Amino acid sequence: MRMLRNLDEKPYVEILSGRWVEKVSPVYRHGALELDLGGIMRAQAKGHGLVASEWRFDLCSDPVKRTTVVPDIAFVSLQRIQGLTDDDIAAPSFAPDVAVEIRSPDDRERDIQEKIALYLAYGSVLVLDVDPARATIGAHARESTTTYQSNERFSHAAAPWLTFDLSRLFQRD
């Protein structure tokens, strides 16, 4: 029955190495952060690639290890989408260059860590783990992890086109 379910129907589902995980319904702060960071990324990604929210990526189609993820925000470079059809771009069969996961209060730590590992294993160069409760961003690359605090400026060698002050994101409306 699960295999017949349309993955693009609400509630959204991700499949992590064959394990079905329902996406947690976000709260206000999650949604506001998604809009704010998505806007920053879209503006700065012009000429570098595409940015979208809630974009599905089919990483592995093997029925036992099936992996399909829906990052809160994703960036894919122009080089990687060059020559792809609209259908290929709609649900790429590779991980985004940059994946952003914004934590919700009901997220399970196990799922967050597994998604970070899967993104990196399937080709992401950077995974941003945005934690609204702590006002931090963990920047996970293959070789290292850096944590940025709310009073710092984000910049990372894996995404040189992206820089911003975290205070812009974590200020209360």
- Residue 116 belongs to domain with CATH number: 3.90.1570.10
Q: How far is CA 102 from CA 26, 109, 124, 153, in A?
A: 9, 12, 16, 18
Low pLDDT (below 50) residues in the chain: 1-5
* Number of separate domains in the chain: 1
Nearest to 137 by CA among 110, 159, 122: 159
Q: Between β-strands 67-69 and 57-60, what pairing exists: parallel, antiparallel or unpaired? A: antiparallel
Predicted confidence at residue 17, as pLDDT, reads 84
Predicted confidence at residue 3, as pLDDT, reads 46
* Residue 82 DSSP code: T
> Is the model's pTM score more than 0.85?
yes
151 CB neighbour count, 10 Å cutoff: 10
Q: How far is CA 50 from CA 2, 40, 173, in A?
A: 31, 13, 28
Nearest to 96 by CA among 24, 8, 158: 158
Predicted confidence at residue 164, as pLDDT, reads 96
Predicted confidence at residue 18, as pLDDT, reads 81
48 CB neighbour count, 10 Å cutoff: 18
| Residue 32 domain boundaries | 2-170
